[in-house]
C-alpha cells in the first residue's frame, strides 16, 4: 500500500501505469483492503490506497492537475460536500451507477455516488426505556427525556447531517427549537464518540443516545465492549413525515484522474453485488444496491423504512445546521 507522500511523488517521478489506479481514502485501510483485493483478483488492476484522514480537499487543490489521485473514498456526506465545493471532481456518467445506486444517495450532477449506508438511530437502555416510548427524531426534544440523553458533539458531521435533515423536513426555526430542546435533555455535556454514548447508558449516566448502526457492529466484535452493547436496544426512529435518517460512504472521481478508464471500472465494481456483499459483511453497513442482502448481524437489528430525502438537499443545509448548533451552544 502506498502512503500519501509516495503517491504525491508519482505525479512527478513516474509515468502513469495503465493497469493501476490511485485512491485517496478517508476510510481506514483495513476496511478497504478486502474490496481492493477482490477487485484486483477479478480485474488485474492494482489499487494504490492512501489513507488521508484530514485535509483531503485542500491537498487535491494544492496538487491540481498534477495530482496522482483518480478517486476519493469518503465516510460522510459532509466530507463529500467539502470536496465538491473545492471544485476538484469531475462528473461521471454511468448506467451501472445510476441503476445500482438510488437517486437520493447520489449527486444530481453525477459528482459523487453513495456506496454504503448507515442509519442514525437511537440506542436505548433495555431496562429503562419501554418499547414504543420513542419513535421519532422530533421526540428527542420532548421534556420527558430531560436529563436522560447522551450525545457526542453537536458539531460532529453525523449530528450536523441529522440537524440538516431536521431543517429539510421542517425549517430553520423549528430546527433551532429542536436543538435547544435536545440540549436541555442532555444528561451531560457532549463528549466522546457514538460508542462512548452506549457505554454511558450501560453505566447508568443516561437512558438514550443517538448513534450510527455500524458502531454497534464494531462493539459486538470487541469482547470488552460486548456487555455495554448488550445493555441497549437499537431503535429506528423516523421523521414525523419521513423515514429513518441515512448517511453514506461514497466515491467520486477527481478532475486530474490519470487512469480514468480503470477508475470508472472500480467505481462500477464497488456498486456491484460482489462488492456490496463485502461491504455488508466486513463493515456492518447497509448495501445501497437494492436486492443485496444485509449481513446476519445487521439484519438481526430489524427492518426500517429509510428516509428518501435526497442527501444533496440535506448537505445543502450544513451551513445553517452548524450555525444553529453554535447559536444554541450545544456543546457548552
| CATH assignment at residue 84 | 3.40.190.10
Residues 225 and 312 in one domain: yes
C-beta neighbour count of 20 within 10 angstroms: 18
Residues 51 and 134 in one domain: no
pLDDT of residue 18: 54
Q: Is residue 260 part of a domain?
A: yes
pLDDT of residue 265: 98
Residues 158 and 197 in one domain: yes
- Cell numbers 453525523 correspond to 158
Q: Is residue 25 part of a domain?
A: yes
Residues 111 and 196 in one domain: no
Q: Is residue 299 part of a domain?
A: no
- Summarize the confidence of residues 249-258 as an average pLDDT: 96
Average pLDDT of the residues of the chain:
93
Residues 192 and 235 in one domain: yes
Residues 233 and 123 in one domain: yes
Of the chain, the percentage scoring pLDDT greater than 70 comes to 95
- Cell numbers 457514538 correspond to 194
pLDDT of residue 183: 98
How far is the C-alpha of 45 from the C-alpha of 273, rounded, in Å? Answer: 19
Report whether 252 contacts 266 (CB < 8 A). Answer: no
Pick the more confident residue, 75 or 273: 273
- Summarize the confidence of residues 304-314 as an average pLDDT: 95
Please tell me the pTM assigned to this model: 0.89
Q: Per mean pLDDT, which range of 57-66, 70-79, 193-202, 205-214 is the poorest? A: 70-79
Residues 70 and 216 in one domain: no
- Summarize the confidence of residues 274-279 as an average pLDDT: 94
24-57 tens-digit pLDDT: 999 888 888 999 999 999 999 999 999 998 899 9
Residues 189 and 317 in one domain: yes
For residue 253, give Cα distances in angstroms to 21, 60, 139. Answer: 11, 12, 39
Domain that holds residue 147: 118-245+307-327
pLDDT surpasses 60 at 16:
no
112-148 tens-digit pLDDT: 999 999 999 999 999 999 999 999 999 999 999 999 9
Residues 147 and 237 in one domain: yes
Q: Which of 237, 284, 289, 229 is nearest to 121 (CA)?
A: 237
- The band of 76, judged by pLDDT with boundaries at 50, 70 and 90, is confident
- Summarize the confidence of residues 210-224 as an average pLDDT: 94
Q: Which of 289, 288, 296, 278 is nearest to 31 (CA)?
A: 278
How far is the C-alpha of 86 from the C-alpha of 63, rounded, in Å? Answer: 12
Residues 195 and 270 in one domain: no
How far is the C-alpha of 183 from the C-alpha of 181, rounded, in Å? Answer: 5
- Summarize the confidence of residues 218-229 as an average pLDDT: 96
Q: Is residue 150 part of a domain?
A: yes
- Summarize the confidence of residues 247-260 as an average pLDDT: 96
Report whether 205 contacts 187 (CB < 8 A). Answer: yes
Q: Per mean pLDDT, which range of 73-77, 96-100, 170-174, 322-326 is the poorest? A: 73-77
86-96 tens-digit pLDDT: 999 999 999 99
Angle, helices 260-270/273-283, rounded to nearest 10 degrees: 60
- The band of 10, judged by pLDDT with boundaries at 50, 70 and 90, is very low
Domain total for the chain?
Answer: 2
315-327 tens-digit pLDDT: 999 999 999 999 9
Q: Is residue 79 part of a domain?
A: yes
Amino acid at each position: 500500500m502506498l502512503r500519501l507522500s509516495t503517491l504525491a511523488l508519482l505525479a512527478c517521478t513516474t509515468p502513469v501505469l495503465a493497469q493501476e489506479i490511485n485512491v485517496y481514502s478517508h476510510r481506514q485501510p483495513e476496511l478497504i483492503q478486502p474490496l481492493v483485493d477482490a477487485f484486483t483478483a477479478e480485474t488485474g488492476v492494482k489499487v494504490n490506497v492512501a489513507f488521508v484522514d484530514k485535509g483531503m480537499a485542500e491537498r487535491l487543490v494544492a496538487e491540481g492537475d498534477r495530482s496522482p489521485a483518480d478517486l476519493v473514498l469518503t465516510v460522510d456526506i459532509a466530507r463529500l460536500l467539502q470536496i465538491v465545493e473545492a471544485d476538484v471532481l469531475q462528473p461521471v456518467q454511468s448506467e451501472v451507477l445510476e441503476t445500482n445506486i438510488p437517486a437520493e444517495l447520489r449527486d444530481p450532477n453525477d459528482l459523487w455516488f453513495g456506496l454504503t449506508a448507515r442509519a442514525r438511530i437511537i440506542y436505548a437502555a433495555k431496562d429503562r426505556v419501554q418499547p414504543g416510548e420513542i419513535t421519532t427524531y422530533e421526540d428527542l426534544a420532548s421534556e420527558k427525556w430531560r436529563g436522560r440523553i447522551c450525545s457526542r458533539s453537536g458539531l460532529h458531521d453525523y449530528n450536523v447531517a441529522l440537524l440538516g435533515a431536521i431543517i429539510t423536513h421542517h425549517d430553520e426555526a423549528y430546527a433551532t427549537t429542536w436543538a435547544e430542546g435536545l440540549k436541555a435533555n442532555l444528561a451531560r455535556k457532549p463528549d466522546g464518540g457514538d460508542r462512548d454514548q452506549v457505554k454511558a447508558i450501560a453505566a447508568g449516566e443516561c437512558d438514550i443516545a443517538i448513534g450510527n448502526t455500524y458502531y454497534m457492529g464494531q462493539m459486538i466484535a470487541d469482547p470488552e465492549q460486548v456487555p455495554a452493547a448488550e445493555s441497549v436496544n437499537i431503535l429506528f426512529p423516523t421523521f414525523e413525515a419521513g423515514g429513518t435518517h441515512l448517511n453514506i460512504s461514497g466515491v467520486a472521481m477527481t478532475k486530474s484522474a490519470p487512469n480514468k478508464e480503470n477508475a470508472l471500472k472500480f467505481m462500477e465494481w464497488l456498486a456491484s453485488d460482489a462488492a456490496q456483499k463485502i461491504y455488508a459483511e466486513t463493515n456492518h453497513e447497509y448495501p445501497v444496491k437494492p436486492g443485496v442482502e444485509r449481513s446476519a448481524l445487521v439484519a438481526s437489528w430489524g427492518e426500517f423504512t429509510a428516509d428518501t430525502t435526497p442527501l444533496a438537499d440535506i448537505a445543502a443545509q450544513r451551513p445553517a445546521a452548524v450555525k444553529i448548533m453554535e447559536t444554541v451552544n450545544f456543546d457548552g
